[in-house]
Amino acid sequence: MKLICGASNQDLASIADLCAVYAAAGVHCVDVAADAAVVHAARLGLHWARQRTGSSPWLMVSVSDGSDVHFRKAVFDPELCPSDCPRPCERVCPANAITADRGVEASVCYGCGRCLPACPQQLIHAQEHQVGLEGLSPLLQELQPDALEIHTAPERGAAFERTLQAVAASRVPLQRLAVSCGLEGHGVTPADLARELWTRHSALRRLGMRPLWQLDGRPMSGDVGAGTARAALRLWQQLRTIAPPGPLQLAGGTNDVTLNLLQTLEPSTLVRPSGVAFGGMARALLQPLLHQAEMRQTTLRDWPTGWEEAVTLARSLVTPWLQRG
């Protein structure tokens, strides 16, 4: 089980709390942006949880071999907004990153993109936010993560190999290298995607790396509804018999109904996903408490009532999967 904090999320206080809470709830891995300040915040949260619960999840960082929706932030000039605008962008933002006076708070925005079509004036645009290949090796040496995730896309095999070479050059010992890819927005079939993953598998094995395949059903939408959970499961069903060797992890749209949907397939299939990752849903569950902690000028870790409530909520998502084995 993995917590996805967001590949472009730089809300340091929330990241520390999210990592602490979900570590205490029992996740095996937390995934954060490949950013020194973010990794420091994540380690603060993990250390806090380890001292109190003994839990010690892997710390994973995410990078990309090209342009990717996970590595972007929304941008607009609030001075251009009409005074009578109903500001639907604020209502649809799950991170509360948009305010009337400042526009988009860059550190809080994690690039879900829901504000882009919501703006009636079409003032909002997306801005790339990711690590360049030339700086990847020294960055990994600095961060020393336990695991790494590379977001890739069809027809980027050469870019993926260059990224792998930079990873290998860092000489950071990784417990696992995850590869994240999906169908949406790429215009390919499941068979096409499987062929792409097989090329990634060949590149990984040449370097002696152990792959994990993160199937991105519907990116950054787990807090939207049951339809996204169905999309995540559908991708796993389409890939499970034709994907290359390695664990298959559900992601991109996973939420609190995913397990029930998966159980409707059993015992019709004996093959099960090897893991699950929660991003939008995991953050949405705790967002009200994170906001209350901010209003109190404290953190969930230093607010006993908020901490207990947060861990209870996190366990409601995590424990059923842990009990399932």
For residue 271, the model assigns a pLDDT of: 74
- Assign domain 2-64+143-324 to its CATH architecture: Alpha-Beta Barrel (3.20)
Q: Contact 1/276 with Cβ under 8 angstroms?
A: yes
- pLDDT at residue 324 tops 90: no
As a whole number, mean pLDDT of residues 96-100 equals 90
Nearest alpha carbon to residue 276 among 225, 226, 233, 221:
233
- pLDDT at residue 272 tops 90: no
Strand ranges, E, within 41-90: 58-64, 72-75
Locate the domains of the chain by residue range.
Answer: 2-64+143-324, 72-128
User: Within its chain, how far is the Cα of 196 from the centroid?
Assistant: 21
Q: How confident is the model at residue 134 (pLDDT cuts 50, 70, 90)?
A: confident
Nearest alpha carbon to residue 133 among 170, 177, 101:
170
CATH of 72-128, one of 3.30.70.20, 3.40.50.720, 3.30.930.10, 3.40.50.1010: 3.30.70.20
Rounded Cα–Cα distance for residues 88 and 83 (Å): 13
Rounded Cα–Cα distance for residues 14 and 299 (Å): 8
Q: How confident is the model at residue 26 (pLDDT cuts 50, 70, 90)?
A: very high
User: Within its chain, how far is the Cα of 36 from the centroid?
Assistant: 17
For residue 263, the model assigns a pLDDT of: 87
